[in-house]
Amino acid sequence: MTAQLATAVIMKTLRRGERPLYVYSNMGSQDTSELFENTLEAVGIRHSYSRKGYPYDNTRIESFHSLLKRKLIYQREFESINDVQAAVGRYNNTRILLRDTA
């Protein structure tokens, strides 16, 4: 993984018309590179990642990822990345609807 590849993913997302408020990543060299950080700053995306040695910085997103894997990803086999994306979208929508009715 390189800083150029990580940055290309952000640019591809923007070209599709999607603009996340935050990008969560680990402390990999590509994610902390000047190129990646400057790209995010230039387009107004905040970067969230755990400080080295402090895995609890992003407890909420880590907890969500763990739950998503246990409840959805590990429960079935997917034919394509499109199937994964659709399943995650449905899962998120279900969780939002359940939360709003509680």
In tens, the pLDDT along 33-46 reads: 999 999 999 999 99
Q: Write down the pLDDT at residue 52.
A: 67
CATH code, domain carrying 19 = 3.30.420.10
65 lies in some domain = yes
**Range(s) of the domain holding residue 58:** 3-75
> Where does 18-80 have alpha helices with state H?
34-43, 59-71
Residue 26 in domain: yes
Q: How far apart are the first and last CA of the chain?
A: 42
Residue 39 lies in a domain: yes
Within a domain: 98 = no
pLDDT of residue 35: 95
Looking at per-residue pLDDT, the higher value among 27 and 12 belongs to 12
The radius of gyration computed from the CA coordinates of the chain, to the nearest angstrom, equals 16
In a domain, 84, yes or no: no
Q: Against a cut of 0.85, is the pTM above it? A: no
User: What is the tally of structural domains in the chain?
Assistant: 1
Q: Each residue of 72-100: pLDDT tens digit? A: 889 889 999 889 888 888 887 766 555 55
C-alpha of 37 from chain center: 16
Token reading at 102: 């509680």
Classify residue 54: in a domain, yes or no: yes
Q: Is residue 90 a part of any domain in this protein?
A: no
